[in-house]
A and B are shown apart, each in its own frame.
Chain A
């Protein structure tokens, strides 16, 4: 009996010893695991973005949108338009913003409080030389092609001028989709660029709003490419097959489903080695009940 007790005591002591050692090692192991994950993501990004265009710079906007008039719900999202001479891309800024905040705050808890943390994974590619506009949408890891057509906006450029930040801007107006739009564009910045489908002005649009100020993109600074967070402009190489009607239904189920359902469904693991970023649309505008569409 005594022998058994002694053996148990020794085993327990050894056990505690091992546990204590493991606990001492844990912080290093955690840091190592985090580093491995970051490196893996970098490798995946390198594969995914191989040969992709990069932007000369980006223009950040804060989108403010009264999406539900009856319930007085305003949607806000940080957007960015990435610009180079050949192509521009309007997309959510959340992914870039988060990456850069993590780089600046490697041990920081939480996230960038200046971000709205609403992400709509819609993408607007615009080719200024041809006027071609391509709209795509990413649901988790699948890309959908929504539209590929010429963007023709009948802008009327006025003589009205104002300064936004340090940039001299001129006003232009447009009647489209049941709203009277006013855009302020500048030629102080290189190339052309505009949010969403408001392309066609000879400069970079820094502000767009409708006459009722229900929908507006407000200038929120410039973003530059940096080695660890390059501003890539990549048109997806392949798209999931879905009719507009099917896409609408797919978007609905993903927008309304709780993130836990999406994770449990296993779809987040698919293609994990090919996509550096996985987006869920449920935090974006498509999760909202809209009674005041942007295009009426």
Chain B
């Protein structure tokens, strides 16, 4: 075991190891370039204003766009945000305010575990809770599934941001006689705004690309739908339906829709990181 290895050999091993780590790490660039390359080159061909403001057309007709899916995606995002954000933020406040209590620590771990639940399972849940009783697919049921997905991310972002805010800020408010709830709402929350906002944007970016929980909840539709109690299309659903169709024209549309979707997702992620930097409160 402890036989003597010359230092030259040891150095050589060290160099070879370093070299292989670099090579293997930079190999990860290849799939990224391949994925983005194909989406951009195939997707850009059909992108036009028409594509964004027209509804899908039946097979055989040329043209057609993704308007209904775009609007559906935004309605789903707004609806799930409305459902998830209030609970997420208040639960996050509780966890950071009581971080010394055993109960809060357990909940915090629960939230982590919760984050690992496969999204398709949440689709089943929304189906059983909402689609089954009213016997109709609806955008609302899809939004419920998505909002459950958002919840852990928002809770964690709120909890972690609030924990970083110095206690002196709170003490200052208390010393002026500001009651607890006003201290939280008027002093602590505004100071934590950037962190909470960026966490929320990250969670929106995640759900805007989700398909699995929508398959049997929002279900998809070929029409432009504003009614949240009816089936509604979304970009991921549209891509899925076009991708599994046998028509090359529809595959072309799916490439373009993928480009639009990926742009939306990365826009949310970009906003999240900009927001985090811009409104970062420095203490």
Q: Do A and B come from one complex?
A: no
Binding site for B on A (CB under 8 A): none
B interface residue numbers (CB < 8 A to A): none
